[in-house]
Amino acid sequence: MTNKAEREEYNVSFFENLKLFSWVFKRVKPYWKMLTISIILMMFVSFMNLIPPYLTKNAINMYLYPTHYSITRTYSQGSVRSGSNYFISSRNGKYTLIHKGNKAFIKGKGHEYPVNMADIKRMEISGVIMIAIEIFIIYLIIFFVSYAQMWTSQMVAIKTVNDVRNVLFDHILKQPMKFFDSNISGRLVTRVTNDTQNLNDMFSKIIASIFKDTFLIVGILYILFFMEPHLFLIILPVFLAVVIITYLFRFFSRKVYRTVRAKLAAVNAFLAEHISGMMITFLFNKEIEKSHEFYKVNNDYYHSALKMVFVYAIFRPMISFMRYFAVTLLIWFGSRAVMGGNVEIGTLFAFITYIGMIFQPINDIAQNFSNLQSTMVSVERIRGLLNIPLPKRPERSADISSGEIVIKDLWFSYNKDEWALKGISLKIKDGEKIAIVGHTGAGKSTISSILTGLYDYSSGSVKVGKVEVKECATAELRSKINIVLQEVMLFSGTVLENITLWDNKISRDMVLKAIHDLDLEKFVASLPNGVDTHVRESGTNLSTGQRQLISIVRAFVRNPKVVIMDEATSSVDVETESMIQHAFQKLTRDKTTVIIAHRLSTIRNVDRIVVINEGKIVEEGNHEELMKKNGIYAKLYRLQSFEEYQVS
Ligand X SMILES: Nc1ncnc2c1ncn2[C@@H]1O[C@H](COP(=O)(O)OP(=O)(O)OP(=O)(O)O)[C@@H](O)[C@H]1O
Q: Name the site residues for ligand X (rule: CB under 6 A).
A: 181, 414-415, 420, 438, 440-446
CB of 596 to Mg ion, least distance (A): 6
What phi and psi, each to the nearest 5 degrees, are found at residue 284?
Answer: -105, 20
Q: How near is the Cβ of 486 to Mg ion at its closest, in Å?
A: 5
If contact means CB under 5 to 8 A according to the sort of partner, which of Mg ion, ligand X, none does residue 343 touch?
A: none
Pick between residue 586 and residue 599 the one whose CB is nearest to Mg ion.
599
Distance, CA of 426 to CA of 407 (rounded, Å):
5
**Closest separation between CB of residue 434 and Mg ion, Å?**
16
Q: Toward ligand X, which CB reaches closer, 381 or 598?
A: 598
Tell me the closest approach of the beta carbon of residue 448 to Mg ion, in angstroms. Answer: 8
Q: How far is the CB of 418 from Mg ion (least distance, A)?
A: 16
Name the residue nearer to ligand X (CB basis): 334 or 438.
Answer: 438
Number of residues that bind Mg ion (CB under 5 A): 1
Q: Least distance in Å: CB of 177 to ligand X?
A: 7
Report the alpha-carbon distance of residue 70 to residue 92 in Å, rounded: 8
Tell me whether residue 35 or residue 450 sits nearer to ligand X (CB atom): 450
* CB nearer to ligand X: pick between 382 and 469: 469
Angle of helix 14-28 relative to helix 117-173, nearest 10 degrees, comes to: 90
Decide whether 85 or 413 has the Cβ nearer to ligand X.
Answer: 413
Contact partner at residue 246 from Mg ion, ligand X, none, CB < 5 to 8 Å by partner kind:
none
∠159-162-164 over CA atoms, to 5°? 110
Contact 557, 500 (CB under 8 A): yes
Exposed, middle or buried by CB within 10 Å (0-12, 13-18, 19+), for 575? exposed
- Taking the complex as a whole, how short is the minimal distance between the CB of residue 444 and Mg ion, in angstroms? 5
In the complex, least distance from residue 450 CB atom to Mg ion, rounded to whole angstroms = 13
b/e burial code for range 207-242 (CB count within 10 A of at least 16 → b)? bbbbbbbebbbebbeebbeebbeebbebbeebbeeb
What does the chain come to in residues?
Answer: 648
Q: How far is the CB of 515 from ligand X (least distance, A)?
A: 28
Task: Decide if 120 contacts 88 (C-beta within 8 A).
Answer: no
Q: Does 448 bind Mg ion (CB under 5 A)?
A: no
In sequence order, the β-bridge partners of residue 463 are 406, 468
CA distance 260 to 41: 36
Question: CB of residue 167 vs ligand X: minimum separation in angstroms?
Answer: 26
Nearer to Mg ion, 270 or 455 (CB): 455
Residue 394, binding choice from ligand X, Mg ion, none, Cβ under 5 to 8 Å by partner class: none
Q: Which does 446 bind (CB under 5 to 8 A by kind): ligand X, Mg ion, none?
A: ligand X
Residue 181 binding result from ligand X, Mg ion, none, given CB thresholds of 5 to 8 Å by partner type = ligand X
Task: Pick between residue 248 and residue 618 the one whose CB is nearest to Mg ion.
Answer: 618
Whole-angstrom Cα distance, residue 163 to residue 199? 11
Instruction: Kindly tell me which of 374 and 445 has the beta carbon lying closer to ligand X.
Output: 445
Q: Say if residues 121 and 61 touch (Cβ distance below 8 Å).
A: no
From the list Mg ion, ligand X, none, partner contacted by residue 441 (C-beta under 5 to 8 A by kind): ligand X
- Told to check if 153 binds Mg ion by CB under 5 A, we report no
Stretch that binds Mg ion, among 9-17, 376-384, 440-448, 587-595 (CB under 5 A): 440-448
How far apart (Å, rounded) are the C-alpha atoms in residues 24 and 158?
14
Report the distance separating Cα 97 and Cα 108, nearest Å. Answer: 9
Q: How far apart, in whole angstroms, are the C-alpha atoms of residue 343 and residue 336?
A: 9
> In the complex, which residue's CB is closest to Mg ion?
445
Give yes or no for residue 449 binding Mg ion (CB under 5 A): no
Listing DSSP states for 70-135 in one string gives EEESS--TT-EEETTEEEEE-TT-SBEEEEETTEEEEEETTEEEEE-HHHHHHHHHHHHHHHHHHH
Counting runs of H as helices and runs of E as strands, what totals does the chain give?
22, 18
49 binds Mg ion (CB under 5 A): no
Nearer to Mg ion, 30 or 441 (CB): 441
Q: What is the rounded distance in angstroms from the CA atom of residue 493 to the CA atom of residue 590?
A: 32
Pick from ligand X, Mg ion, none: which does 200 bind, CB < 5 to 8 A by kind?
none
**Site for Mg ion contains 445 (CB under 5 A):** yes
Q: Does 446 bind Mg ion (CB under 5 A)?
A: no
Contacts with Mg ion, residue ranges (CB under 5 A): 445
